[in-house]
């Protein structure tokens, strides 16, 4: 086998995000041609020419259909503070050929009390389930209706498991109770949404079971793992999840939580490559995950290259060349009326950076061995209550609200997927 507390509305189970980002001290990182021969006699010259034309047309059509993706897969992530996707947004993603949707499973809102967590729906008036899957069900159902795979990522420690002042970033493995409850949660999620899961037993259409699970989010930053990031403690979290999830589905795949290259929440944060290198030091850890994930936010392509080159070098140095590197968050804001930020580019700038970055990922997909690339995010944050002036609240491909209001970046996105805006 290779994010904040408090009810925020109908999407609260999928929410909870801290907005600290670093300054970005980037440094410069360091046609296939095929020939076909036609062997023909004088009598068959005309036939050969006709055949050659037919083959050429066939190849051209196949190439045209595949050229938009060129082997790359592009998905979208849901902003933890945005509303759940509307029917119109799911329909747009279907037309736009979105390959996958990344969704937060926010533990504090799924399991609000220490009651035991189950994959099943409560039956009867007195039946209880410590885990409320209702919001997640809505997203998984909408995605399945549109034929879109879901990549869930677990994040957030419930208040009843946190240490004093730790918030939702409190280490989720700080106590024996926390470790046991973490395994209970991940096992129940796999039993509900994985192959032959409880959710799919009543779903009327073709199942789109979850096969890959992302474990936590930006665990190399103190803002997401308190009191300080610990590759050793994270390895415990990963091992526990691996045991729980593969115990339900032996073919399930686990992905490391996506890491921003140089978080600057405090001196205790670790660069993504340093964290990863130290994680590899844990004996047997490579057998507990199947993909590494990056959040290479940067002002320009130079910063993206710097981060991904660093990560890939660490992976290669640890003899993990075959493991894929997914981009589970990348994006820029579009609202220049917000506070100045290097990641806020305006409408045209957002579109341009999507085109440039996706082009880079497609070009380097083999040398970096990239997995799916997820744009963050699907829609802007509407009815914003916190951190409203931050760039990522306007990072959506769609403006918030109804009717559906796509930005120029959405049309650019569909050119890479081969879909229809």
Query: Is pLDDT above 50 for 27?
Result: no
CA distance 77 to 392: 12
CA distance 269 to 207: 40
**What's the rounded mean pLDDT across residues 291-317?**
98
pLDDT of residue 389: 76
Query: Is pLDDT above 70 for 124?
Result: no
| pLDDT tier for residue 384 given thresholds of 50, 70 and 90 | confident
Query: Is pLDDT above 90 for 70?
Result: no
Alpha helices in 319-386 (DSSP H): 346-363
Close Cβ partners of 282 (under 8 Å, ≥ 6 residues apart): 231, 232, 235
CA distance 235 to 275: 11
Contact 271, 259 (CB under 8 A): no
Beta bridge partner(s), residue 154: 105, 215
CA nearest neighbour of 13 among 105, 112, 125, 91: 105
Q: Which domains does the chain carry?
A: 12-22+72-417 (3.20.20.80)
pLDDT of residue 127: 53
185-198 core/surface letters (b: 16 or more CB in 10 A; e: else): bbbbbbbbbbeebb
pLDDT of 317-352, one tens digit each? Answer: 999 999 999 999 999 999 988 888 999 999 999 999
Query: Is pLDDT above 80 for 311?
Result: yes
What percent of the chain stands above pLDDT 90? 74
CA nearest neighbour of 372 among 268, 319, 293, 288: 293
Query: Is pLDDT above 60 for 67?
Result: no
CA distance 116 to 110: 12
262-274 core/surface letters (b: 16 or more CB in 10 A; e: else): bbbbeeebbbbbb
pLDDT of residue 23: 44
| pLDDT tier for residue 123 given thresholds of 50, 70 and 90 | low
Query: Is pLDDT above 80 for 9?
Result: no
pLDDT of residue 352: 98
pLDDT of residue 48: 41
Query: Is pLDDT above 80 for 5?
Result: no
Range of lowest pLDDT (79-83, 134-138, 367-371): 79-83
Average pLDDT of the chain is: 85
Query: Could you give the C-alpha distances from 317 to 21, 230, 275, 321, in angstroms and in order?
Result: 28, 21, 14, 8
pLDDT of 197-256, one tens digit each? Answer: 999 999 999 999 999 999 999 999 999 999 999 999 999 999 999 999 999 999 999 999
Close Cβ partners of 384 (under 8 Å, ≥ 6 residues apart): 81, 393
pLDDT of residue 13: 47
Residue of 172 and 55 predicted with greater confidence: 172
Query: Is pLDDT above 80 for 376?
Result: yes
Query: Could you give the C-alpha distances from 420 to 96, 407, 413, 416, in angstroms and in order?
Result: 5, 14, 10, 10
Contact 119, 192 (CB under 8 A): yes
pLDDT of residue 1: 55
- CA quadruple 256, 224, 3, 122: dihedral sign: positive
Residue of 7 and 72 predicted with greater confidence: 72
Contact 110, 170 (CB under 8 A): no
CA distance 358 to 365: 10
- Termini Cα distance of the chain: 37
CA distance 342 to 20: 14
Kind of pairing, strands 405-406 and 398-399? antiparallel
Beta bridge partner(s), residue 103: 152
Residue of 59 and 210 predicted with greater confidence: 210
Residue of 62 and 235 predicted with greater confidence: 235
């Amino acid at each position: 086998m290779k994010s904040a507390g408090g009810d925020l509305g109908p999407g609260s189970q999928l929410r909870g995000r801290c907005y600290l980002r670093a300054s970005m001290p980037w440094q410069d990182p360091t046609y296939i041609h095929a020939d076909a021969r036609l062997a023909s006699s004088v009598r068959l010259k005309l036939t050969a020419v006709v055949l050659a034309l037919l083959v050429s047309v066939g190849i051209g059509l196949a190439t045209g259909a595949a050229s938009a993706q060129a082997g790359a897969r592009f998905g979208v992530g849901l902003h933890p503070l945005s509303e759940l996707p509307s029917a119109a947004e799911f329909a747009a993603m279907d037309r736009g050929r979105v390959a996958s949707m990344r969704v937060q499973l926010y533990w504090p809102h799924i399991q609000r009390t220490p009651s035991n967590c189950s994959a099943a729906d409560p039956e009867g008036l007195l039946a209880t389930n410590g885990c409320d899957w209702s919001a997640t069900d809505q997203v998984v159902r909408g995605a399945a209706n549109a034929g879109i795979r879901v990549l869930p990522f677990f994040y957030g420690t419930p208040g009843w498991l946190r240490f004093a002042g730790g918030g939702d970033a409190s280490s989720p493995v700080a106590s024996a109770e926390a470790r046991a409850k973490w395994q209970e949660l991940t096992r129940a999620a796999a039993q509900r949404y994985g192959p032959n899961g409880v959710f799919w037993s009543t779903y009327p259409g073709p199942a789109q079971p979850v096969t890959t699970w992302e474990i936590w989010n930006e665990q190399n930053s103190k803002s997401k793992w308190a009191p300080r990031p610990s590759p050793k403690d994270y390895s415990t979290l990963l091992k526990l999840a691996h045991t729980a999830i593969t115990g339900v589905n032996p073919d399930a795949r686990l992905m490391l939580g996506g890491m921003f290259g140089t978080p600057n929440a405090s001196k205790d944060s670790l660069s993504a490559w340093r964290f990863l290198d130290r994680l590899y030091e844990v004996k047997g850890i490579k057998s507990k995950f199947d993909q590494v994930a990056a959040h290479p936010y940067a002002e320009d392509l130079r910063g993206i290259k710097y981060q991904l080159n660093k990560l890939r070098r660490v992976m290669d140095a640890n003899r993990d060349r075959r493991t894929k590197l997914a981009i589970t968050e990348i994006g820029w804001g579009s609202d220049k009326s917000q506070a100045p930020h290097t990641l806020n580019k305006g409408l045209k700038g957002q579109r341009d950076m999507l085109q440039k970055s996706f082009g880079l990922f497609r070009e380097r997909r083999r040398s970096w061995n990239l997995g799916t690339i997820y744009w963050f995010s699907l829609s802007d944050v509407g009815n914003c209550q916190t951190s409203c002036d931050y760039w990522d609240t306007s990072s959506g491909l769609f403006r918030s609200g109804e009717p559906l209001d796509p930005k120029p970046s959405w049309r650019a996105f569909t050119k890479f997927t081969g879909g229809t805006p």
